[in-house]
Structure 1
Amino acid sequence: MTALQGLVDECHQCAGLFRLGRDVEAALTMVDVFEGAQQSLLTAGAQTQQVWAQLLTQMLECQERQDWLGLADFMEYELMQLLEQPSS
């Protein structure tokens, strides 16, 4: 398994925890996911990094409002898509 696939799997698992209402456990996993995403996107192009910054802001806003389903959606769809796209 590649590092990227491991990160995508961890992202999917974290989103699932949020959907199940296990927000404390999910929040701990989310920190690892965000750190991994940050490392993975360091070499990406400026546009991809800008999308990552906007996405991170939206996800943190969801966390602040305790919108766990919204946060799960961002992680499972937008973040996974961003991680899986070829580097720009």
Structure 2
Amino acid sequence: MTALKGWVDECHQCAGLFRLGRDVEAALTMVDVFEGAQRSLQSAGVQKQHAWAQLLTQMLECQERQDWLGLADFMEYELIRLLEESSA
């Protein structure tokens, strides 16, 4: 399994936990997902790093509001898209 495939699977799993209302478990997984995304995007260009910073801000705002479905959407769609684009 490639690193990208692993991160995509982690994003789907974490988003699924948020959708099921298992927010405590999902939040613990989310830390690992964010750390992995950060490492993956370190070598990406400035534009991708800026997009990551904006996306991270939006996801943390969702977490602060306890908007678990919004956070799941960001992880499952926007974060995966960004990771896929940066690895292409």
For Structure 1 versus Structure 2, the TM-score category normalised by the shorter chain is: over 0.9
CA distance in 1, matches of 2:35, 2:56: 11
Runs of at least 4 residues off by over 4 Å: none
In structure 2, what residue type is equivalent to 1:59?
A: M
CA pair 35-18 structure 1, distance change in 2 beyond 3 A: same
CA distance in 1, matches of 2:72, 2:40: 20
1:33-83 CA-to-partner distances (Å, cap 9, x unmatched) read: 000000000000000000000000000000000000000000000000000
CA pair 56-86 structure 1, distance change in 2 beyond 3 A: closer
What is the deviation of 1:29?
A: 0.2
Quote the residue 1:13 is aligned against: 13
Matched length: 88
What is the deviation of 1:85?
A: 0.8
Residue 22 (1) aligns with residue 22 (2) = yes
Q: CA contact under 8 A between 1:19 and 1:69: conserved in structure 2? A: yes
Structure 2: where are the runs of 5+ without partners?
none
Q: Structure 2-normalised TM-score? A: 0.97
The sequence identity of aligned pairs, in percent, is: 84
Q: Which structure features the higher share of helix residues?
A: 2
What is the deviation of 1:86?
A: 3.9
CA distance in 2, matches of 1:11, 1:31: 11
DSSP-derived class of the 2:21 partner: coil
CA pair 4-87 structure 1, distance change in 2 beyond 3 A: closer
Q: CA contact under 8 A between 1:19 and 1:68: conserved in structure 2? A: yes
Quote the residue 2:73 is aligned against: 73
Residue 85 (1) aligns with residue 85 (2) = yes
Structure 1: where are the runs of 5+ without partners?
none
